[in-house]
Amino acid sequence: MKKYLGFLILVSILMLSSVHMPTVAQDTQANIDLKNDTYHIMLIARNFNFTVIDINHKTTLMNQGVSEAQAINQSSFVGNLTNLAYGKTLLIEAKSAQDEHGFFIEKLGVEFDLKGPGNNETYGPTSTKTTTLPTTDVTMRAYCNIFCGVGHDTMAFYISVGHGSSYSGNGWEIFLNPYVIGLGVIFVVVSYAIYWMGVIREPPSEDDA
């Protein structure tokens, strides 16, 4: 009985945490170009995602004679930054193409407040920040931290350094989420009640075999 209950708790917590995992745009998993020990990206915020432009890649393409429009097109994506090298510089330029948005990477202490474009403007003002990447394997969530509307929760992507982490995003921190714990407790109590009502039978023990 105790074994069964323990298993039930584990399964319910795992189920609930997977349900709660934030939805993240993952059109592409991209390796971005390193130049002079620096990754250089331009972020364009809009409702409700961030387009990433790999500026080093764009520059390389333009040096090869590709037109600027085409180079931007071939260096842009919506998705995660993966396999970044330890301890390199990350240079971030950011602007908004639509309304005000935030951009926040807690682990790097990077925070932007991106004002939306004014009348007859395509973009709001550009902000620039430079940070140093960690020297250990880590996956960091990068997201909008200014509430911007219905799709706000999906305005996020992941940046992984080295091999990242097997638990992308919040990882095991998810288990500390009160929402997840609360639902887990309700699920366990309900399952327990159903068990006592005799709907679910305890699996046969090894002795019965």
Footprint on this chain of Cu ion (rule: CB under 5 A): 144, 148, 152, 155
Cβ-count burial of 123 within 10 angstroms (0-12 exposed, 13-18 middle, 19+ buried)? middle
Determine the angle formed by the axes of helices 178-196 and 2-20, rounding to 10 degrees: 140
Q: Minimum distance between the CB of residue 151 and Cu ion, rounded to whole angstroms?
A: 8
The C-alpha atoms of residue 206 and residue 101 are separated, in whole angstroms, by 58
For 206, which DSSP code? G
Read off the DSSP letter of residue 172.
G
Instruction: Tell the smallest beta-carbon distance from residue 144 to Cu ion (Å).
Output: 3
Measured between alpha carbons, how far is residue 179 from residues 17, 97, 198 in Å?
A: 10, 33, 29
In the bound state with Cu ion, the residue whose beta carbon lies nearer, of 58 and 101, is: 101
CB-nearer residue toward Cu ion: 33 or 113? 113
Nearest to 8 by CA among 205, 180, 184: 184
Q: How far is the CB of 155 from Cu ion (least distance, A)?
A: 5
Cβ 103 to Cu ion shortest distance, Å: 9
Supply the minimum distance, in Å, between the C-beta of residue 101 and Cu ion. 5
Our CB check for Cu ion shows the closer of 24 and 148 to be 148
Q: What is the DSSP letter of 33?
A: P
Nearer to Cu ion, 105 or 155 (CB): 155
DSSP 51: E
Burial of 71 (0-12, 13-18, 19+ CB in 10 A): buried
CB of 85 to Cu ion, least distance (A): 29
The residue (of 108 and 144) whose beta carbon lies closer to Cu ion is 144
- Enumerate the β-bridge partners of residue 37: none
38 Cα distance to chain centroid? 22
Q: Is the CB of 16 or the CB of 148 nearer to Cu ion?
A: 148
